[in-house]
Amino acid sequence: MLKSVGTNGRKVPKIASLCNFLKFNKNIHSNPDFLAIAENWKSYWKSHYPFVKNDKGKKKYILSMFPYPSGLLHIGHVRVYTISDILSRYYRMKGYKVIHPMGWDAFGLPAENAAIENGISASSWTYENIKKMKEQTYHMNIYFDWDREISTCNPDYYKWSQYLFLQMFHKGLAYQAEATVNWDPVDCTVLANEQVDSHGRSWRSGAIVEKKNLRQWFLKISDYSDQLLDDLETLPKWPDKVKKMQRNWIGRTTGFEISFPLLNDEETLTVFTTKPETIIDVSFIALSKNHKLVLLESQKDPSLAEHLRNESLLDKGYQLPCFAKNPVTGKALPIFYDPYVLDCYGTGAVMGAPIHDRRDFEFAKRNNIIFSKESCIGSYFTNEGKELLNHHDSSNLMDIKQKMLQQKIVSYLEEKKLAKRVKNYRLKDWLISRQRFWGTPIPMVHCETCGAVPVPESELPVKLPDLDKIYEKGTSPLSNLETWMKTTCPKCHGPATRETDTMDTFVDSSWYYFRFLDSKNSELPVGLASASSLMPVDIYIGGVEHSILHLLYSRFFSKFMKDIGLWNGDKYLNEPFTQLITQGMVHGLTYTTMSDERILNPKEVQKIGDEYFLISNPKEKVQLSYQKMSKSKHNGVDPIRTIQKYGSDIIRAYIIFSAPVEGVLLWNENAIMGTKRWLTKIWNCVHQLLEREKKMSDAMRQTKLTIVDDHNSRKLESQYNEFISQCSAHYENVFSLNLVISDAMKLTNNIADALKNNKVNIGTIKASLEVLVKCIAPIIPCFSSECWLLLGHNSSVYSNWPISKNKKENMEELVTIPVQINGKVRFKIEMPKLNDENEILNFVLETNDGKRWLSNKKVLKSFVKQKIISLVTD
């Protein structure tokens, strides 16, 4: 049941209305003071919730990727949060229960480096930055659900990262293994394969990565390879390019493992091949550096050992003193070690068929291996094969030949138990050990008797020690803290030491979107009911640079969380993100010298006529281009400074208008002025309308609400109704958010024309301005709220989304409901299916009939029952 919500019962934004009232009485055509309007509304919203609370509405989980708290929101952050904020405001207006949380991906190297360099604690550095960045989101007027806020460096959060690690450990999905690892010599830590780029450089420091042997913790993501690959097909709202990258990363190949007996030995060598039919043309076997046989032989053969040790010889092959037997042709095959064979792919052994494969061909040439240039495959036909070939055209010829041959060879070898069909993956287990301080401690202890023992759940979190200063770089800082390390073994109670590695921060960010839904739960990472009713994330927005790692790890975690009963997402195949939006980059104007493309500071440049020159050398021409913003290119913008200059509304509108969400945004301050002119035009329309209304007699004012059936009024009416439907479509499509503004600009011009030519009913003009202001409110919150207030509304501009009378598009959504006042049905209204009673009542009060019957009354009671709205008034 509803409380009394008469028009006069609602809250009016006092500060703003007062300021504005003064302003508009003084000079109604003055330009709007965007900064003052923004300040008034932002401070009003500090204590007043701008939206209609709707706990019964359908949920919409809108999430932008949480940032690393570097202390400064950069323009990329501003773009992504603006998009998610706009979408969440839109869906709130539509009556959804929106979840739009924010938190901090707060562990990681910069805090630790700051701690080493400046001697401050990583923790206070991080929390200071969080404070600063939170303030910056306030300037941008981003409405986050701060009551859900989390920081991954908070023990209340990382306790659950540790809990999840332990669950993986118990299921055999977390294990320790000796591994040759990627060692970043600058950051002094291990990197996952995924963190090394195609040039062998660290994704963070850019240093050439070295190889080292260490005992490390791994998560067995490979157990989920098939699910992670197959379920990509169920994500139609993910960009194809991202799905393609993930597919390649998982890299499933189906092929065969074939065993080659060694001559004069019991052992066999197993190779992985996708073309088993080429076995009849094989002329050698090549092995990787760490292949068992290579390691074995190197113990007997000092020159091979030397060959493997000597970095300068490593790219040359080495023939081993043994031979393998081709199980099909019976030929003896030389065996080589060669660096072109990868350790971590297939079996680390390749059968070389030089006439079929370019790399095998090059290898054979390098090593003087003799091979026949005639392929045996060409002359190999069965009788059925010959027959088949006569019935097919030549384009399929090779394929069929190949397939038949493959079948024959495979079944021959299978019979002898020398071949089996296997799937091979590029995706390896995830190495999560980091020799760093500022991360989630891995909750394990090492005991001489019992080995690696998990910390009991009741003792979680294993807290990081308070450390004011971190001195050493190179070893894990935790291993220098004897008191912290010393502990007792949970199993035998003997002396033991704590694990000193911390987790890769990608672990923390693999499940944070669950925690937002139940951020204060002290029993579990997330409650089953919260997770199952509020997951998955409906719209996830972030940078395309996270296409592989973060998204793959998150998908792995959410599938694992289903497996241990933390959520039931079977309906979505336990996929965490239904729609993925990868926002485009922001590029800035960059000055470079014409001669050698040296990046210049704008201070070094002067404009002469239409051209640019170096100040220090006026003969040297300077060229302008747009490039990805970065400090080194002197082409960045400080978002806070621009917001302070223009106001958050204009910057938000500019960002959205200048490019489609996924496109590159070329930052051009001159274009910001265009946005400002457009909003000023709306402002003038509102004031002209009010001025005209003021001049109207009471009698005229009564009639103005009923739309006169003349041509011009009907035209404007149809334009704004069309605008509503177009706008909804753009908001829902997301990719074309920029079109909301171009459509709104068109409608603004139509309204301005209508005011100028005086042929349109003033009620229609008012209605169209109201629609305009409401539809842009998700993008331009403060200015729209101010206009809404000026147009005479006490309610929030966000109280409901306008309904298009353009019936065709809204047929499904609209219902007709009779409204009964003090026992008598007075009128019927057409309205969308709303769930919230408050919202329904607001809707009734906004209609012309509602105004007529209820404007001077106080609603004492209201019922929404069996498709009838019943009101009791004074």
> Distance between CA 38 and CA 679 in Å, rounded?
13
For residues 146 and 137, is the Cβ–Cβ distance under 8 A?
no
Using the rule CB under 5 A, is 601 a contact of Zn ion?
A: no
CB of 411 to Zn ion, least distance (A): 53
Other residues' Cβ atoms within 10 Å of the Cβ of residue 46: 8
Count of chain residues binding Zn ion (CB under 5 A): 6
Instruction: Return the half-sphere exposure (C-beta side, CA atoms, 13 A cut-off) of residue 60.
Output: 19
CB of 369 to ligand ANZ, least distance (A): 15
449 binds Zn ion (CB under 5 A): yes
Q: Quote the tokens at residue 428.
A: 């390896």
Site for ligand ANZ in 511-540 (CB under 6 A): none
Least distance in angstroms from the C-beta of 398 to ligand ANZ: 12
Looking at beta carbons only, is 353 or 685 nearer to ligand ANZ? 353
CB of 358 to ligand ANZ, least distance (A): 9
Residue 489 interaction partner, one of ligand ANZ, Zn ion, none, beta carbon < 5-8 Å per kind: Zn ion
Question: Which of 492, 664 has the CB closer to Zn ion?
Answer: 492
User: Is 292 or 861 the residue whose CB approaches ligand ANZ more closely?
Assistant: 292
Which of 340-348, 465-473, 487-495, 829-837 is the region at the interface with ligand ANZ (rule: CB under 6 A)? 340-348
Which positions ≥6 away from 117 have C-beta within 8 Å?
Answer: none
Q: Which structure tokens are listed for 88? A: 């969440």
Number of residues in contact with ligand ANZ under rule CB under 6 A? 17
Q: Does residue 327 bind ligand ANZ (CB under 6 A)?
A: no
715 binds ligand ANZ (CB under 6 A): no
Residue ranges in 233-262 that form contacts with ligand ANZ under rule CB under 6 A: 253
From the list Zn ion, ligand ANZ, none, pick the one residue 38 interacts with, judged by a Cβ distance below 5 to 8 Å according to partner type.
Answer: none
State how far the Cα of 790 lies from the Cα of 767, in Å rounded to an integer.
13
Element (H, E) at 829: strand 824-832
Q: Which of residues 15, 18, 177, 342 is near ligand ANZ by CB under 6 A? A: 342
8 Å CB contact between 404 and 385: yes
d(CA 409, CA 635): 62
Q: With CB cut-offs between 5 and 8 Å by kind, which of Zn ion, ligand ANZ, none does residue 272 bind?
A: ligand ANZ
Tokens standing for residue 321: 């003193």
Q: Which does 491 bind (CB under 5 to 8 A by kind): ligand ANZ, Zn ion, none?
A: Zn ion
Selection from 487, 496, 509, 500 nearest residue 437 by Cα: 500
Length of the chain: 874
In this chain, which of 2, 120, 188, 450 binds Zn ion, going by CB under 5 A?
A: 450
Instruction: Give me the least distance between CB of 591 and ligand ANZ, in Å please.
Output: 45
* One of 491, 645, 692, 858 touching Zn ion (CB under 5 A): 491
Segment near ligand ANZ (CB under 6 A); pick from 147-155, 273-281, 545-553, 706-714: 273-281
In angstroms, give the least distance from the CB of 331 to ligand ANZ. 15
Q: Which two tokens stand for residue 729?
A: 């479509």
Choose between 113 and 268: whose C-beta lies nearer to ligand ANZ.
268
CB of 253 to ligand ANZ, least distance (A): 4
Count of CB atoms situated within 10 Å of the CB of 184: 23
Cα 581 from Cα 726, distance rounded (Å): 20
Q: What are phi and psi of 123, to 5 degrees?
A: -70, -50
Choice between 174 and 409, CB closer to ligand ANZ? 409
Taking CA atoms, 344 is separated from 258, 335, 347, 424, in Å, by 17, 19, 8, 11
> Does residue number 398 form part of the binding site for ligand ANZ (CB under 6 A)?
no
341 binds, among ligand ANZ, Zn ion, none (CB under 5 to 8 A by kind): ligand ANZ
Residue showing tokens 């021409």? 621
- In the complex, the smallest distance separating the C-beta of residue 453 from Zn ion, rounded to whole angstroms, is 6
The interface partner of residue 681, options being ligand ANZ, Zn ion, none and the CB cut-off 5 to 8 Å by kind, is none
- The residues with which 196 forms a beta bridge, in sequence order, are 202
Q: Which of 203, 345, 361, 380 binds ligand ANZ (CB under 6 A)?
A: 345
Which of 23, 134, 275, 714 touches ligand ANZ by CB under 6 A? 275
What's the CA gap between 226 and 577, in Å, rounded? 18
Q: Stretches 388-396, 445-453, 520-528, 729-737: which one binds Zn ion (CB under 5 A)?
A: 445-453
Among 37, 115, 221, 350, the residue binding ligand ANZ under the rule CB under 6 A is: 350
Which residue in the set 68, 272, 430, 516 belongs to the binding site for ligand ANZ (CB under 6 A)?
Answer: 272
406: exposed, middle or buried (Cβ count in 10 Å: 0-12, 13-18, 19+): middle
User: Interface mask (CB under 6 A) for ligand ANZ, residues 284-323, using x and -?
Assistant: ----x-----------------------------------
Contact indicator for 492, 449 with CB cutoff of 8 Å: yes
- Residue with smaller CB distance to ligand ANZ, 275 or 645: 275
DSSP letter string, 365-414? HHTT----SS-TGGG---HHHHHHHHTS-HHHHHHHHHHHHHHHHHHHHH
The window from 313-321, 450-458, 463-471, 842-850 that contacts Zn ion (CB under 5 A) reads: 450-458
- Joined tokens for residue 405: 């041959």
Looking only at residues 34 through 93 of this chain, which bind Zn ion when binding is defined by CB under 5 A?
none
- Are 469 and 119 in contact by the 8 Å Cβ rule? The answer is yes
Q: Sign of the C-alpha dihedral, residues 825, 831, 837, 841?
A: negative
274 binds ligand ANZ (CB under 6 A): yes
Angle in degrees, CA 44, 75, 645, rounded to 5:
55
Residue 815 contact, options Zn ion, ligand ANZ, none, Cβ 5-8 Å cut-off depending on partner type: none
Contact 289, 339 (CB under 8 A): yes
| Cis amide prior to 536 (ω within 30 degrees) | yes
Prior bond of 461 cis (ω within 30°): yes
Cβ proximity to ligand ANZ: between 332 and 342 the closer is 342
Q: Which is nearer to Zn ion, 495 or 602 (CB)?
A: 495
Q: With respect to ligand ANZ, which residue has the nearer C-beta, 350 or 859?
A: 350
Between 184 and 257, name the residue whose CB sits nearer to ligand ANZ.
257
Q: Choose from ligand ANZ, Zn ion, none: what does 307 bind? Cβ within 5-8 Å by kind.
A: none
Contact 269, 297 (CB under 8 A): no
* Cβ–Cβ under 8 Å, residues 97 and 60: yes
Q: Which amino acid is residue 840, in one-letter code?
A: I
Please identify which residue in 10, 220, 356, 692 interacts with ligand ANZ, judged by CB under 6 A.
356
**Residue 778 contact among ligand ANZ, Zn ion, none, beta carbon within 5 to 8 Å by kind:** none
* Residue 61 or 337 with smaller CB distance to ligand ANZ: 337
The CA distance from 851 to 799, in Å, is 16
How far from chain centre, in Å, is Cα 141? 21
Q: Among 57, 108, 346, 781, indicate the residue that binds ligand ANZ (CB under 6 A).
A: 346
- For residue 153, the 8-state DSSP code is T
Nearest distance from C-beta of residue 423 to ligand ANZ, angstroms: 11
**Residue 489 touches Zn ion, criterion: CB under 5 A:** yes
CA distance 41 to 45: 6
Q: Which is nearer to ligand ANZ, 287 or 432 (CB)?
A: 287
By the 8 A CB rule, do 858 and 834 touch? no
Contact 665, 657 (CB under 8 A): no
Among 186, 313, 492, 624, binds Zn ion (CB under 5 A): 492
Q: Which of 428, 425, 507 is nearest to 226 (CA)?
A: 425
Please give the Cα distance from 688 to 682 (Å, whole number).
10
Residues that bind ligand ANZ (CB under 6 A): 253, 272-275, 278, 288, 341-342, 345-346, 348, 350-351, 353, 356-357
Residues that bind Zn ion (CB under 5 A): 447, 449-450, 489, 491-492
